[in-house]
């Protein structure tokens, strides 16, 4: 008699469940992902004022749940459950991030000032300037869709993706730089200074988008593929604990397909 995935889960047959999920429907994978997410606890990582919540790793859970934690860590099940949503194109990522950032700017600009001095250095000024700069980018993205004669450019979609990539990376790099510069003052914040919770939440949201297992794999592949080719790069990632060779290769190829369309 063939066991259902629910029976495998109840029996803690994680290897069997992992094998089953490779051939399961997207709906089944979604249900399995939800069940595993309810079983595996989350842990909170902190550094100064930064906080991030992630699923516990295989070595952080009771032995009977280590297999479930491993499945979540590898990300293959999540990829099959989410389908195309698992690797959104960078243009979509930029739209989401810029919209969230503009909303945060509006909220910050409406708050009372907490410092004194020149208005050109006030919170409302910085928040307003940031929002105005963000509003320039959609115009640039729209402009590349047509050539100088106003005719639709066949390279427009690809150019939009490239511009969104630069914008996303620059924005994220600036955020990381700002956080790195601010680390010196975080002990004071921990000891009682008020920190703008909304801005911190925005930083955490970006962390989850760019520092998960999938992004670590892609970052490593971007380093390795030009040097040793895709197959060897995937094998290296597997030895470094970033997932399984074939799964990494599939995810990378899907990422390239979405980027080029």
* pLDDT per position as a tens digit, 130-141: 999 999 999 888
Burial of 186 (0-12, 13-18, 19+ CB in 10 A): middle
Out of 29-43, 120-134, 201-215, least confident range: 201-215
SS3 201: helix
Per-residue confidence band for 212, with pLDDT thresholds at 50, 70 and 90: low
Task: Please give the pLDDT value at position 84.
Answer: 61
Beta strand pairing status for 42-47 and 50-55? antiparallel
pTM as predicted: 0.53
Contact 50, 203 (CB under 8 A): yes
Mean pLDDT of 1-15: 84
pLDDT above 70 (res 176)? yes
């Amino acid at each position: 008699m063939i066991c259902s995935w629910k029976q495998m889960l109840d029996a803690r047959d994680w290897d069997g469940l992992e094998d089953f999920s490779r051939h399961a429907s997207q709906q089944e994978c979604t249900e399995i992902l939800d069940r595993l997410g309810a079983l595996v606890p989350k842990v909170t990582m902190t550094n100064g004022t930064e906080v991030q919540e992630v699923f516990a790793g295989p070595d952080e859970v009771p032995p009977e749940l280590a297999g479930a934690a491993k499945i979540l860590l590898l990300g293959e099940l999540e990829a099959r459950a989410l389908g195309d949503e698992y690797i959104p194109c960078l243009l979509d990522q930029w739209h989401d991030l810029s919209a969230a950032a503009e909303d945060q700017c509006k909220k910050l600009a409406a708050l009372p000032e907490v410092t004194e001095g020149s208005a050109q250095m006030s919170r409302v000024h910085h928040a307003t300037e940031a929002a105005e700069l963000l509003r320039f980018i959609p115009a640039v993205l729209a402009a590349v869709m047509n050539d100088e004669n106003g005719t639709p450019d066949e390279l427009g979609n690809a150019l939009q993706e490239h511009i969104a990539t630069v914008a996303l990376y620059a924005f994220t790099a600036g955020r990381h730089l700002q956080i790195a510069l601010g680390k010196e003052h975080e002990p004071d914040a921990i000891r009682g200074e008020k920190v703008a919770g909304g801005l911190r939440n925005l930083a955490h949201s970006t962390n989850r988008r760019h520092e998960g297992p999938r992004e670590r794999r892609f970052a490593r592949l971007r380093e390795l593929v030009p040097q040793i080719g895709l197959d060897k790069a995937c094998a290296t990632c597997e030895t470094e604990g970033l997932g399984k060779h074939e799964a990494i290769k599939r995810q990378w190829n899907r990422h390239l397909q979405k980027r080029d369309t």
